[in-house]
Amino acid sequence: MAPHGLTKLLKLSFYSLVVVMMVMTHQTQGFRLGPLWRKKSKNVVIDPTPIGICASSVLVHGYKCQEIDVVTQDGFILNMQRIPEGRDGNGGGDGIKRQPVLIQHGVLVDGMTWLLNSPEQNLPLILADKGFDVWIANTRGTRFSRRHTSLKPNEHAFWNWSWDELVLFDLPAFVDHVQQETGQKMHYVGHSLGTLIALGSFSEGLLVDKLKSAVFLSPIAYLSHMNTVIGALAAKAFVGEMTELLGFAEFNPKMKLVTQFLDALCASPGVDCYDLVSAFTGKNCCLNSSTVDLFLQNEPQSTATKNMVHLAQTVRDGVLAKFNYGTADYNMMHYGEASPPVYNLSNIPHDLPVFLSYGGQDALSDIRDVQRLLDSFRAHDVDKLSVQYVREYAHADFIMGVNAKDIVFNQVVSFFKHHT
């Protein structure tokens, strides 16, 4: 690669660090990203035949689990796990049909993040024990969803997508399959990017007729206040430098260039990597260090560079819109309009039962941005909207907090039981 290209790639990498740090915050005082990252970087090559999520994280706890593949309209083969019932068949009433729940992870991670704590602390297993039929999604590009009917992950065309395509193709593939198999409407749980793609989808009137309710944990939509100057600068740099690689590359946060870039960054004068981490993620209050270790063995996962650029555009532009091709001409070509079409969240049907839980320490889902998101629910039916604010929680606490069951997941279960 030419030195020029390398510089660009390094700049691109910077934003990934930002996002990766968001998902890998750590409660330990004095936590430094450098050594942690080095630990991870030994294993750069993706294991071609990793053991599936059912085998590694569900069956071992005495639950049934099926590995399922679904194919999107644009040819991606996506992996799901189904946990049809509680441990040893528990949780069902006599003759009562279990209601399906679809669980959607965020960016740069996969469905396994829901299963890293001990079984009585994990949302999917809690739901199964409470009588739900649980389906875990893994979006395109993540470890078990790196397959396509005609493309290979080493081809550029395989990575030619952003979260618009998750809205258009991945989410419908998951939802349609669950509906087909169960014959029922389902509940939805999303975390982080898993909330954004659902909000985008519902605002376009998609999928809502197939849902009973939706839960948004650590919701992201608007990202203007994504804390800190560095975050904003990084996003700007990312958008500015993107053209050369746009849409034509896998974004693998484990790649060596990112590691090297990070080491260099942490070694530069005036940069304190500890501060950098808390600045970007917010301080998660309640993570278990064994769980964090397990997290680091399994994540982060790849996404498309184009997806990262799209997220950076959202930070920069302060609007929730489709991918911006950068010039009026290109946008015209793709959308028939000079600017990318906006996702208007006020159009989310007002009678959809929604439960939204957000944290006071969450730097990615900043409370000012959540407030703006809530503004678009102003006309929502009052009895269909529940909002929970957890003062001490940051981004990862909502999936992996040791007390998330008591604080959040039990509320989710009650909410689902209320909106059957």
Ligand X SMILES: *[C@@H]1O[C@H](CO)[C@@H](O)[C@H](O)[C@H]1NC(C)=O
Contacts with ligand X, residue ranges (CB under 6 A): 118, 156-157, 160, 247, 288, 290-291, 342, 344, 346-347, 402
Nearer to ligand X, 71 or 151 (CB): 151
Nearer to ligand X, 6 or 342 (CB): 342
Minimum distance between the CB of residue 185 and ligand X, rounded to whole angstroms? 24
Q: Which two tokens stand for residue 348?
A: 């989310």
- Start-end of H helices in 254-288: 256-267, 273-281
Q: Counting Cβ atoms within 10 Å, is residue 411 exposed (0-12), middle (13-18) or buried (19+)?
A: middle
Q: Which two tokens stand for residue 313?
A: 């555009």
Nearer to ligand X, 75 or 92 (CB): 75
Q: Which of 177, 310, 380, 395 is catalytic?
A: 395
Minimum distance between the CB of residue 363 and ligand X, rounded to whole angstroms? 24
Q: Residue 186: which of 261, 264, 255, 99 has the closest Cα? A: 99
Minimum distance between the CB of residue 369 and ligand X, rounded to whole angstroms? 17
Minimum distance between the CB of residue 294 and ligand X, rounded to whole angstroms? 8
Minimum distance between the CB of residue 295 and ligand X, rounded to whole angstroms? 12
Beta-carbon contacts of residue 207 (< 8 Å; ≥ 6 apart): 171, 172, 175, 198, 201
The DSSP secondary-structure symbol of 341 reads P
Minimum distance between the CB of residue 164 and ligand X, rounded to whole angstroms? 8
State the DSSP H helix or E strand holding residue 136, giving kind and residue range, or none if neither: strand 133-138
Nearer to ligand X, 156 or 368 (CB): 156
Backbone angles phi, psi at 399, to 5 degrees: -105, -40
Residues 353, 384 contacting (CB under 8 angstroms): yes
Q: Which two tokens stand for residue 271?
A: 């940069």
Q: Which two tokens stand for residue 152?
A: 């290979």
Minimum distance between the CB of residue 321 and ligand X, rounded to whole angstroms? 10
What are the residues facing 191 on neighbouring strands? 217
Residues 334, 164 contacting (CB under 8 angstroms): no
Q: Which two tokens stand for residue 378?
A: 């102003």
- Please tell me whether residue 181 adopts helix, strand or coil conformation: helix
Nearer to ligand X, 104 or 291 (CB): 291
Q: Which of 170, 362, 366, 369 is catalytic?
A: 362
Question: How far apart (Å, rounded) are the C-alpha atoms in residues 238 and 230?
Answer: 12
Q: Which of 16, 57, 145, 192 is catalytic?
A: 192
The yes-or-no answer on residue 4 being catalytic is no
The yes-or-no answer on residue 395 being catalytic is yes
The yes-or-no answer on residue 362 being catalytic is yes
Other CB atoms closer than 10 Å to residue 301's CB: what's the count?
27
Nearer to ligand X, 80 or 168 (CB): 168
Nearer to ligand X, 156 or 256 (CB): 156
State the DSSP H helix or E strand holding residue 189, giving kind and residue range, or none if neither: strand 186-192
- The dihedral formed by the CA atoms of 166, 80, 51 and 21, expressed in degrees to the nearest 10: 40
Q: Which two tokens stand for residue 289?
A: 């260090």
Active site (catalytic) residues = 192, 362, 395
